[in-house]
Amino acid sequence: MDAVPVQPSPRLGRYALHLVVVAACYYAGARLGLLQALVNGQVTPLWPPTGVAVLAMLLGGVRMWPGVALGAFAANIAFNDLGSTFLIAAGNTLGPVVAFLLLKWVGFRPQMDRSRDALALVLLGGLVGMAVSATAGAGTLLVTGVIDGPLFWSTWTVWWTGDAMGVLVLVPIALAFRSLRLRGHPVRRWVEAAALVVSTAVVMAVASTNDLRLMYLVFPFLIWAALRFQHLGTAPCALIAATLAARGAARATGPFADMELVVRMVTLQAFNGTAVLTALLLSAVIAERNAGRAAIERTVAQLADVVSQYQPLVLGNLLPPEPPEKR
């Protein structure tokens, strides 16, 4: 009797395809991030692949980790030997896994329509989770002799800053565009959105290259984005602000000039963390307010319907009884 060939499961095929897509996106993001590498040609102040990894797990679950590991291994093999690459890839995978588990533990919602979601993404997903990958990566470079002891903390700081910024600038904008609806918006709304994005880019381009330390001027535009567009507006503006600030820090221009590497990274992390947290938190608070107002309006409309249905009965009970007819 001939053996029946085993057909591959469609679910397994889709899962494998998703892993390949995650690995490819991770590798593409790594190539972009390496354009601003500061240490050993591989440690950068903005590392988009961590955002890809956390986003993949938020959308597909922790089972996406093999795709992250494959992309991390491919991105680092050109700079390190096989053992070092394995350890760095393991750290780059473990960091997003820890960030995802922490976000899941606190009940993070991808809609980011609550203030607690904004706080969780910045504090747990960005700052706490990425400390794991920074420790593994910088520790590997130290143990293998790529860097010496005095460079450990500067390398760790750059690594941590880059990983955290990758999460904070990529995850919000990707989640925002998932809910974007292109139809039903008036032309003036699109014009206002375009003016907001262009203004933010111009202000940050000048502030990140000018010695007058004007980067705080971007905050009115972040507030404008939150008030008018909520998450859909703050995400691209925060991306522009963080990217241009990281570019200035990598080139040591503008407010980052004449700073040591550690000071530059701490300053960059403080600015980007404050900007992203302010933008996301304010947009979430406004979204909560709008949702509460909509709920109140729905309740009022329902009560009005109930009152209108029972109003004839109430009025009938209030009318005086008709006098008896005379015979």
What is the residue extent of each domain of the chain?
Answer: 13-306
- pLDDT tens digit string along 104-116? 999 888 887 788 8
- pLDDT tens digit string along 129-172? 899 998 988 888 888 887 787 788 888 888 888 888 888 888 88
Q: Report whether pLDDT(39) > 60.
A: no
- Residue 69: pLDDT band (50, 70, 90) is very high
In angstroms, the CA 309 to CA 302 distance is 11
In angstroms, the CA 168 to CA 50 distance is 9
Tokens of 227: 């008030």
The mean-pLDDT minimum among 43-57, 106-120, 145-159, 310-324 falls in: 310-324
Mean pLDDT taken over the chain: 82
Q: Cβ(180)–Cβ(111) under 8 Å?
A: no
Output the pLDDT for position 127.
87
Q: Report whether pLDDT(57) > 60.
A: yes
Phi, psi of 39 (to 5 degrees): -130, 125
In angstroms, the CA 284 to CA 119 distance is 10
Read off the pLDDT of each residue in 21-39 and give the average, rounded to a whole number: 81
Read off the pLDDT of each residue in 183-190 and give the average, rounded to a whole number: 78
Tokens of 67: 């795709």
- pLDDT tens digit string along 249-279? 878 888 888 878 778 877 887 888 888 888 8
Give residue 295's identity as a one-letter amino acid code.
A
Give residue 126's identity as a one-letter amino acid code.
G
Q: Report whether pLDDT(83) > 60.
A: yes
- How many angstroms separate the Cα of 278 from the Cα of each of 87, 118, 145, 196, 281? 35, 9, 40, 17, 5
Output the pLDDT for position 303.
82
- Residue 284: pLDDT band (50, 70, 90) is confident
The mean-pLDDT minimum among 208-212, 288-292, 318-322 falls in: 318-322
- Residue 1: pLDDT band (50, 70, 90) is very low
Read off the pLDDT of each residue in 166-195 and give the average, rounded to a whole number: 81
Output the pLDDT for position 34.
75
Output the pLDDT for position 313.
54
Read off the pLDDT of each residue in 213-224 and give the average, rounded to a whole number: 88
- Residue 23: pLDDT band (50, 70, 90) is very high
Output the pLDDT for position 200.
92
Output the pLDDT for position 260.
80
pLDDT more than 90, % of the chain:
17
- How many angstroms separate the Cα of 172 from the Cα of each of 54, 59, 103, 130, 152? 11, 13, 14, 16, 30
In angstroms, the CA 229 to CA 223 distance is 10
Annotate 214-251 with b (16+ C-beta within 10 A) or e (fewer): bbeebeebbbbbbebbbbbbbbbbbbbbbbbbbbbbbe
- Residue 311: pLDDT band (50, 70, 90) is low
Q: Report whether pLDDT(245) > 80.
A: yes
In angstroms, the CA 130 to CA 49 distance is 12
- Residue 317: pLDDT band (50, 70, 90) is low
3-state secondary structure 292-310: HHHHHHHHHHHHHHHHHHH
Read off the pLDDT of each residue in 192-196 and give the average, rounded to a whole number: 89
